Amino acid sequence: MLGRIFEPRSIAVVGASADPAKRGHQILRTLAESDYPGRVYAVNRSGGTILGHRAHRSVEDLPEAADLAVLCTPAGTAPELVRACGKRGVGGAVVLAVGFAESGAAGARLEFRLREAARSAGVRVIGPNTSGLLNLPRGINLIGARGVRPGGIGLLTQSGNIALDLMNQVSRQPDAGSSIGGISICAGLGNEADLGFGEVLEYLGGHDETRVVIAHVEGCRRPAEFLAAASRVTRRKPVVVIKSGRTAAGARAALSHTGAVAGPYERLRAGLRQAGMVEVRRTDELLPVAATLGSQPPAPPGTGIAILSDGGGQSALVVDALQERGVRLAELAPETSAALRRLLGPGAAVRTPVDVAGAADSDPGAMARALDVLARDAVVGGVLLVGMFGGYALRFSETLASFEVEAAVAMAGAMRRRNKGFVVHSQYASHPSAPLDALRRAGVPVIRSLEAAGRATEELLRRGERISRRRPPWRPIGPAAGRRSTATHPAIEAARREGRVTLTEIESGALLRDAGLAFAPARVVRSADEAGDAAGLALSAVAIKLLSRHISHKTDAGGVALNVVGKEAARTAFQRIAESASRYARRHGLPSEDSAATVTPMLPAPVVELIVGASRDPGLGPVLTVGAGGEWVELLRDVTHRVLPADEDELEAAIRELRVSALLTGHRGQPEVNFHPIVEAAAAVARCLTRWPDVAEAEVNPLFVYPDRVAPADARVILTR
């Protein structure tokens, strides 16, 4: 079905116009200029002839069921025109008009009507509020962009300006995307009233001319679908994404710490990574990273990146940047370093980064010979060339020009023969340069920005690691998970009977225990005397904590007393907790309730305190959060996320991403921690959401971590409303 949209054999321009300022005129003109080989029909209710095309008065009057209709008409006409397209058998429609959900409540209602019209008519819609559609290999230009260079980059965007900027870069800047040509397909998805990122990305995954995909995402209407499609597509070709609106506030106030620290962008970002996409945050990295991934082979697992330069300053900067991002640099074999020493002389640096120390200034071939030595080393998965290659003839002597071109050809050939990635950073990338043009013709990325060149090379290593794992495609559980399930639990039933969404600590512990996480026994007390008796029976200090059906954060309400020893101290602590909780409830308008608390033995000091929580994202479904726990979780925000499902390897990787994880690996004499119990605890918290659809959020904070076990010290479960 999507083939009729992206490779139509016939196009109807609805709202065709004789006015050169109107889109209905511009599209007819650009279709002619781009030599579109299919049939083009003009539709204008006034009839006549427009740019040599007979104007049909309505969609119903078309001589055939066109594959694609482009609606160049006001927003209010779109729903009925889409219905008319369905009756005539038109396959798809591009709705260019603005004035839909992006413009307010009335526009949102109009967009709903458009969506319903598309579904009932069986017409697939791109847009509305879209810049249009471009398929350069097929001569389809519904965007109106001029002079766009064809190539292997597929582009999905929700911004016409972003699309135009990228097309201008790839067509007019010699170092942007030159190794892969230009654009294959560009689709402006707009508001995604019907067709969204997921389906279109899936199409590009099977599109032969597209070698890499760039996605600019403002707001993704069906993010779980997008991630599932990306997980399949990234096994075949790279997908590079940039997300705007990263700092938007969450759509709802969270009752748990997990909800507070797991913002919408952080959750989506985790899913992008799990799906195998490469996220960049700078627009100047988009094309260099995409072109490199689309043109160069990924680095084999276990290898590293080698840096070859003609100056120490820039190579040191890029090495710093790569090391800070955790990129593995190639540890050259002794024989490689020895060969480089013989080749370059005593002044050269012969370990990564390799510095030719001026040898190429008068002999550009020295750079090619050094690269050939590096390429032979099995630990080198890719090479980043840094400096002023391509400018030796400009910098020193015109007599070097032919030798520099020969060196460029030799370098590209050496890396191609060994199937290793090769990226060139050059200060002269924006200058006319025959050697750099030779590299570009050979498919080698030539990049002006040192930072972008480093990032592009890094992603060759990352992609090699990802595709070597050979796991089945990952698919998010999604927001619809469990909707039809009737699974329940006594703790959930008790809360529902009382009209509560917050489970008590005892109820939360019971739910988590049945999900697989063991809690220490807790005694419930309802008076100061009972608290004293419980503490008197304990063999050591106890913790006394408020047990409330309405107060979610016990610490905020003064509801926690630690290291309580003896009966009298316990009586005093209970009385203080009860009074403090009562004041807190009155101040916040919460219902009054009988005083109650739990008494548990004090746990020994842990190696570290973690938070493990899970919550439901309205677009992604269940998301797990792990991080540094305790009272400071929202201040420290040392957290990471995983969209569920996540297997044990993924959960352990999440834990190791935390800054606090350094404390788990024997830091400064601390005992080394077994990660398996932490992983099991995280899996149990995740099961709370995947097993019981009534659970909106589940959290253990803090989770005390010991060398060989974990102990949950507090738990909170929030139900769906």
Q: Provide DSSP, 593-627.
A: ----EEEEEPPPPPSEEEEEEEEEETTTEEEEEEE
- Lookup: tokens for 415: 């890396």
Mean pLDDT over each residue of the chain, to the nearest integer: 92
Asked if 251 contacts 289 with a C-beta cutoff of 8 angstroms, the reply is no
Q: pLDDT tens digits for 206-261?
A: 999 999 999 999 888 899 999 999 999 999 999 999 998 766 443 333 344 444 44
Rounded to 5 degrees, what are φ and ψ at 273?
-65, -45
Q: pLDDT tens digits for 494-545?
A: 999 999 999 999 999 999 999 999 998 899 999 999 999 999 988 889 999 9
The DSSP element (H or E) to which 259 belongs, if any, is helix 257-261
The span from the CA of 389 to the CA of 367, in Å, is 9
CA neighbours closer than 13 Å in the CB half-sphere of residue 717: 28
The span from the CA of 157 to the CA of 161, in Å, is 9
Asked if 382 contacts 463 with a C-beta cutoff of 8 angstroms, the reply is no
Beta strands in 629-721 (DSSP E): 639-643, 695-705, 710-712, 715-719
Q: Is the pTM of this model over 0.95?
A: no
- Lookup: tokens for 220: 């993704």
Asked if 27 contacts 140 with a C-beta cutoff of 8 angstroms, the reply is no
**Angle at alpha carbon of residue 569, lines to 565 and 570, rounded to 5°:** 85
Residues 42, 44, 45, 46, CA torsion sign: negative
Length of the chain (residues)? 721
pLDDT score recorded for residue 481: 67
Asked if 286 contacts 214 with a C-beta cutoff of 8 angstroms, the reply is yes
What residue has token string 């100061």?
Answer: 528
Reduced to 3 states (helix: H, G, I; strand: E, B; else coil), residue 130 is coil
Question: What Cα–Cα distance (Å) separates residue 639 from each residue in 574, 629, 633, 718?
Answer: 34, 9, 8, 20
**Averaged pLDDT in 10-residue chunks for the chain of 721 residues:** 94 96 95 94 96 96 97 97 98 96 93 97 96 93 88 91 86 68 92 96 96 92 95 96 70 40 78 96 92 96 95 90 94 96 90 90 93 96 96 90 95 96 95 94 94 96 90 89 79 94 94 95 94 91 94 90 95 96 94 93 94 95 94 79 96 94 83 95 96 95 95 95 89
What residue has token string 């703790």?
Answer: 491
pLDDT score recorded for residue 418: 96
Helices (H), 482-526: 490-497, 505-515
DSSP state of 192: -
Which of 75, 73, 121, 132 is closest to 98 using CA atoms? 75
pLDDT score recorded for residue 455: 96
Label residue 188 left, alpha or beta by phi (over 0 means left) and psi (-120 to 50 means alpha): beta
Which of 198, 251, 235 is closest to 220 using CA atoms? 198
Domains parsed from the chain with CATH numbers: 3-126 (3.40.50.720), 145-247+254-292 (3.40.50.261), 296-466 (3.40.50.261), 521-601 (3.30.1490.20), 608-719 (3.30.470.20)
Residue type, 334: P
Asked if 508 contacts 716 with a C-beta cutoff of 8 angstroms, the reply is yes
Reduced to 3 states (helix: H, G, I; strand: E, B; else coil), residue 628 is strand
The span from the CA of 601 to the CA of 605, in Å, is 12
pLDDT score recorded for residue 222: 93
The span from the CA of 539 to the CA of 592, in Å, is 34
**Beta pairing, strands 446-447 & 421-425:** parallel
Sheet hosting strand 49-50, strand order edge to edge:
49-50, 53-56, 39-43, 10-14, 68-71, 92-95, 124-126
Residues 400, 406, 411, 414, CA torsion sign: negative
Rounded to 5 degrees, what are φ and ψ at 335?
-70, -30
Neighbours of 486 (CB within 10 A): 6
- Lookup: tokens for 283: 């627009």
Which of 372, 374, 377 is closest to 349 using CA atoms? 374
Which of 328, 525, 293 is closest to 421 using CA atoms? 293
Residue type, 536: G
pLDDT score recorded for residue 563: 95
Burial 301-322 (b: 16+ CB within 10 A, else e): eebbbbbbbbeeebbeebbebb
Peptide bond into 601 cis (omega under 30): no
